[in-house]
Amino acid sequence: MTAFDLTPPTEGQRATLVEGLSEDESRVLLHHGTEAPFCGVFLDNKLDGVYCCRLCGLPLFRSGAKFDSGTGWPSFFQPYDEAHIRRIRDDSYGMVRTEIVCARCGSHLGHVFPDGPPPTHERHCLNSVSLSFVEEGEALPDPLRRGGAEAQPA
């Protein structure tokens, strides 16, 4: 069981969080868009830390699970906690894929594919614009002001 509060933001909290999004962030996070390959700010990030949901701050992936998939998007073989990711069948564009969204706020993150490295053999293909990054030892974001695990260093 996760140490993080997965209760969705209230309507007021969500409105405040959405208000701070750029046009690209809104298109991807709220409308299931995709950023262009090889342009995301986190594609080549080699720092140790935690990748969090850009909207609600929930930790999604650790840097130790990141790998170079050659696809043009940041890729991870394992989530921070499986409970932090929700998987949804995606039948768009004439194909069947598995979309991944933040389990707390429902923001679109990307897709997961069964062609990653061991031990999971999964490739979680993320949009950089869906993420924020917290360097190791820094406090995790807590935009919902919930305290608890969110207030603790990663």
Domains, the chain: 21-137 (2.170.150.20)
Q: Which residues are catalytic?
A: 125
Alpha carbon distance 123, 125 (integer Å): 6
Instruction: Give the pLDDT confidence of 35-52 residue by residue, as tens digits.
Output: 999 999 999 999 999 999
Which of 62, 43, 41, 60 is closest to 52 using CA atoms?
60
Residue 153, pLDDT above cutoff 70: no
> Could you read off the pLDDT of 67-116 as tens digits, one per residue?
999 999 999 999 999 999 999 988 877 778 899 999 999 999 999 999 99
In this structure, the number of other CB atoms found within 10 A of the CB of residue 109 comes to: 26
| Residue 152 confidence (pLDDT) | 52
Helix, strand and coil in the chain, % to nearest 5: 20, 25, 50
Q: pTM for this one?
A: 0.92
